[in-house]
Amino acid sequence: MWRKVKYALLAGIVVALLAFHAPGDNYFEIARNLDIFATLFKEVNAYYVDEVDPGKLIRKGIEGMLESLDPYTDYIAEDELEGFRITTTGQYAGIGALIGNVNNKTVITHPYKNFPAYKAGLRVGDEILAVDGQSVAGKTTSEISNMLRGPLKSEVEIRVKRYGQSENLTFKIKRERIVISNLAYAGIIAPGIGYIRLDDFTPGAGKEVAQAVADLKQQGAQRLIIDLRDNPGGMLYEAVNIVNLFIPKGKEVVSTKGKMADWNRTYTTLNHPLDTQIPLAVLINENSASAAEIVAGALQDYDRAVLIGQKTFGKGLVQTTRPLSYNAQLKVTTARYYIPSGRCIQELDYAHRNADGTVNKFADSLRREFRTSRGRIVFDGGGLKPDIETENAQDIPVLAALVNSGMLFEYASKFTNENPGLRTSAPFELSDNEYARFVSWIKERKFSYTTTIEQQIKEFREAAKSEQYFAEIERELNALSSRVEANKANDFIRFKREVKNLLEQQIAFHYNLFDGQVPVSLRSDKEVEKAKDILSDLKKYQALLSPQ
């Protein structure tokens, strides 16, 4: 029986491979290795000393195989499809709220504006206790999210605990079709300067940006900042639609080239542009990837925008979803993309891994020179280099520790519930007295963190003990540790401006979501300030877009 099943399986796979491979490919090698895999699985399943779970065993094998390719090629099982669709389309049926785990409590972290949770009165920081009468204690955020989603127009009951209130609150909410906006914020941030923060490239992104640009121009915007920092990308055609807003119809935006001719395509602008003259600044950083790089790269190649920030991630690979048996899916890298100058900005060379499995960046010596429309020199193989490069934000351990600990979020929940009257349209600002109360609260909670140098001292101490040098240097190490600890005690004074700004952003988000948070974050945003400076001086702006 096993033999018949095995060879039927192999025959089906080989036939499928024949449909996609040209004559001359290694049919025998494919069949031989599939045969080995099938018989190996049979033997392990039959003879391994303990019982094995066939599904888990095969899943591990699939993951190991795909891991040797690139991090974007992925197997999606049937029970993971819903989450995958939500990620790629931004649409689902539910209450319209993000949830997360903060200090072992499942809380509302973002009730999307004008969706059921928001309209019902759920707030950032509300702790979820039960869904439809079933306690959520011990459940993961993924399990609770599944409980909150359900059929369109169905009702769900949610019981929450709100900071400072003795009685729990119960909300009955009718589920709706949720379409998450790609735009976090759009507004006028200086006389004549509009600002758009784009967080995703799910369906509709192009229309959302077009509407935002039109609205900002109506409000008096004569120059525009598009913020693509920390944008991981998404739908390629939405990137094309956004570029189309600023360059003429019929222009190439991106081309893709793969092993199969079917994946060799050129994407051009199909519509008349919205504005080909408005001065543009695009903000990028090391987390701007994929579709975000297509937008920024195409606008740079056409000398249509000044890029400001840090070098981008360097993802020049295109993924396509293919159907598998039993409603599973394979997200597989099928091509590389090339922006109008002809360059591919893929940074890591997954095709040539080291013996230990690590991946190298493309060597600088292999990077090739290309030209923009006006003749500026640009390079491939390593992300997009901005026209104006700014330094990365300083890595301050106390800031990362505060965010990761959930302390900022928890204090913001406390503050906003104790001060409901401060909800305002003006950018929120924390007084020095309130900051001092926050520091006292943090210390009462025995907040602690380990700096990089403390970790290094610990490792050095252990190495010294193992190599029997510790006795000679113990005094110096103890003195160094004491000095670091003393410096840490002053971190809330030394980094007051940075900590205060992060706390202000979190409180503003609790009050008014992104409409509250973004104006606060812009007060200390060096890239935005640089963009405003460049856009306010058109001679400087044009000089940056001309060959040197």
The per-residue pLDDT string of the chain (548 residues; one tens digit each, 9 = 90 and over) reads 444 444 444 444 444 444 445 444 677 888 888 899 889 999 998 999 999 998 899 899 999 999 889 999 999 988 888 788 887 887 788 999 999 999 999 999 999 999 999 999 999 999 999 999 999 999 999 999 999 999 999 999 999 999 989 999 999 999 999 988 999 999 999 999 999 999 999 999 999 999 999 999 999 999 999 999 999 999 999 999 999 999 999 999 999 999 888 889 999 999 999 999 999 999 999 999 999 999 999 999 999 999 999 999 999 999 999 999 888 999 999 999 999 999 998 988 888 888 777 888 877 777 889 999 999 999 987 899 999 999 887 778 899 899 999 999 999 999 999 998 777 667 899 999 999 999 999 999 998 888 888 888 888 788 778 877 777 777 877 888 888 877 888 899 999 999 999 999 999 999 999 999 999 999 989 999 999 999 999 999 999 999 97
User: Which of the residues 181, 288, 290, 413 is marked catalytic?
Assistant: 290
Known active-site residue 301: yes
* 275 contact partners, CB below 8 Å, separation of at least 6: 213, 217, 245, 246
Active-site option among 181, 255, 303, 315: 315
Phi, psi for 142 (deg, rounded to 5): -65, -45
What residue spans define the domains of the chain? 2-52, 91-179, 183-323+333-392, 397-449+495-530, 452-488
Listed in sequence order, the residues at least 6 apart from 320 whose beta carbon sits closer than 8 Å to its beta carbon are 263, 331, 332, 334
CA distance 39 to 123: 56
Query: What residue has token string 């941030």?
Result: 189
Which CATH number is 183-323+333-392 given?
Answer: 3.90.226.10
290 flagged as catalytic: yes
Q: Which listed residue (301, 387, 491, 525) is catalytic?
A: 301
Q: How many beta carbons lie within 10 A of that of residue 412, not counting itself?
A: 24
> How many other β-carbons are positioned within 10 Å of the β-carbon of residue 291?
27
Roughly what angle, to the nearest 10 degrees, separates helices 236-244 and 291-301? 30
Dihedral of alpha carbons 182, 185, 188, 192, sign:
negative
> Matching CATH topology for 91-179 and 183-323+333-392?
no
CATH of domain 91-179: 2.30.42.10
pTM recorded for the entire structure:
0.87
